[in-house]
Amino acid sequence: MLTTYDCDVLVVGGGIVGLSTAYALTRAAPGTRVVVLEKESGPAHHQTGRNSGVIHSGIYYRPGSLKARFAVRGAAEMVAFCAEYGLPYEVTGKLIVATAHAELPRLHALVQRGRANGIPVRELGRAQMAEYEPAVRGIGAIHVGTTGVCDFGAVAGQLARLAEDAGASVRYGAEVRAVGRRASAVAVRTSRGEVLRARALVNCAGLHSDRVARLAGDTPGMRIVPFRGEYFELAPDRAELVRGLVYPVPDPAFPFLGVHLTRGIDGTVHVGPNAVPALAREGYGWGVVRPGDLAGTVAFPGTWRMARRHWRYGAGEVRRSLSKGSFTEAVRRLLPEVRADDLIPAPSGVRAQAVLRDGTLVDDFLFAESPRMVHVLNAPSPAATASLPIGREVARRVLAGLA
């Protein structure tokens, strides 16, 4: 029996990674029929459109890891992409600042890691720090010149337009409700009641990537545990305190970078985020609770193993979430002039963090393949920065499966 296909490749998810994948497919194999299914009314409604807009250099990531390779390459490509299509961006550089002597060995390790990744890094003393950020205080710092900022939502929109110009179809309001697979085809049913058949499926569903994998009959071996990142903005009359980007020295045990200061492309200075457990996959505030999401997180053994291992760190994050004074104290370690009244609440984001059954926080991008499927199971920061090379990698994998 001859199978009739509605398209060659279905891409589930209209964030920056899904749209980059669709764009890469149309470039790598012109004529490939691609359909992107996005449950929201437009692109970039979740992780892509709810972050600080930082183009990461790749300094934090283990040399040779996918994060390191894709971030370094992706940062340069993102700047070139924004310049080519007239999207707002700025290469600002950033400071990573040590505020205690105990942080100096970790700061030095970052210098070595950055250089191993081919990133220009300059070590600074206190006087040199003041040349970049006069209001910031610390005992030592490094300057990373390749870091910048852009509007990742605008980038996602441009990728959607380019993919559509090349023949792809991007369909909004089309949540995937069921996935079926046979030897010769993949079929999905959407919330619109449509049934679409394709030769292959790519899962770029972000916060719901593990669910889509299970819908497809695969066992991902991990669970997305959502962490909310809460932001403030500096009051407009205090924004001059920060010229560019200022980060603390991160704790290498966690994939979070700590409360940092980011001057965005519009001149607004974002402060944050912290990282607290979200009570829903799209839980952008403590008041957003979805019992099904919460039950799935609580029932997963890895959640409890992670909590036992990292409860002290987590307690500090929750305290800063519930107490503006505690959050302000964390900011003042970098920016002593800030007071609580200078911080204005800003929209939160939710990070889709993959956790293994043993409680390990997955620290690298994670892909999985099965017949006619490619799953992007872990793509948190710096996925937006690295979205162009990630899209090419996913496109390569799906096209190899169709060859």
What does the radius of gyration of the chain's CA atoms come to, in whole angstroms?
Answer: 21
What span, in angstroms and rounded, lies between the C-alpha atoms of 105 and 139? Answer: 12
What span, in angstroms and rounded, lies between the C-alpha atoms of 197 and 187? Answer: 4
CA 50-190-219 angle, to 5 degrees, is: 75
Count of C-beta atoms within a 10 Å radius of residue 131: 9
CB 107 within 8 A of CB 96: yes
Q: What is the Cβ-side half-sphere exposure of residue 225, based on CA atoms within 13 angstroms?
A: 24
Specify burial of residue 197 (Cβ count, 10 A radius: 0-12, 13-18, 19+).
middle
What span, in angstroms and rounded, lies between the C-alpha atoms of 282 and 269? Answer: 24
CA 146-150-153 angle, to 5 degrees, is: 140
CB 24 within 8 A of CB 391: yes
What span, in angstroms and rounded, lies between the C-alpha atoms of 201 and 185? Answer: 9
Burial 226-264 (b: 16+ CB within 10 A, else e): bbbbbbbbbeeebeebbbbbbbbbbeeeebbbbbbbbbb
Nearest to 56 by CA among 105, 11, 93: 93
Q: What string of pLDDT tens digits covers the 403 residues of the chain? A: 456 899 999 999 999 999 999 999 999 999 999 999 999 999 999 999 998 899 999 999 999 999 999 999 999 999 999 999 999 999 999 999 999 999 999 999 999 999 999 999 999 999 999 999 999 999 999 999 999 999 999 999 999 999 999 999 999 999 999 999 998 899 999 999 999 999 999 999 999 999 999 999 999 999 999 999 999 999 999 999 999 999 999 877 666 678 899 999 999 999 989 889 999 999 999 999 999 999 999 999 999 999 999 888 888 889 999 999 999 999 999 999 999 999 999 999 999 999 999 999 999 999 999 999 999 999 988 999 999 999 999 999 999 998 7
Point out which residues pair with 367 in neighbouring strands: 376
What span, in angstroms and rounded, lies between the C-alpha atoms of 383 and 376? Answer: 11
Domains and their CATH numbers in the chain:
1-89+149-221+364-403 (3.50.50.60)
CA 273-172-287 angle, to 5 degrees, is: 40
What span, in angstroms and rounded, lies between the C-alpha atoms of 112 and 264? Answer: 28
> Looking at 83-165, which runs of residues are DSSP E strands?
89-90, 94-98, 121-124, 140-144, 148-150
Tokens of 13: 């998810």
Nearest-10 Cα torsion for 386, 381, 148, 244: 180
Q: What is the pTM of this model?
A: 0.95
Tokens of 193: 């009641």
CA 166-212-218 angle, to 5 degrees, is: 115
What span, in angstroms and rounded, lies between the C-alpha atoms of 15 and 29? Answer: 21
CB 388 within 8 A of CB 231: no
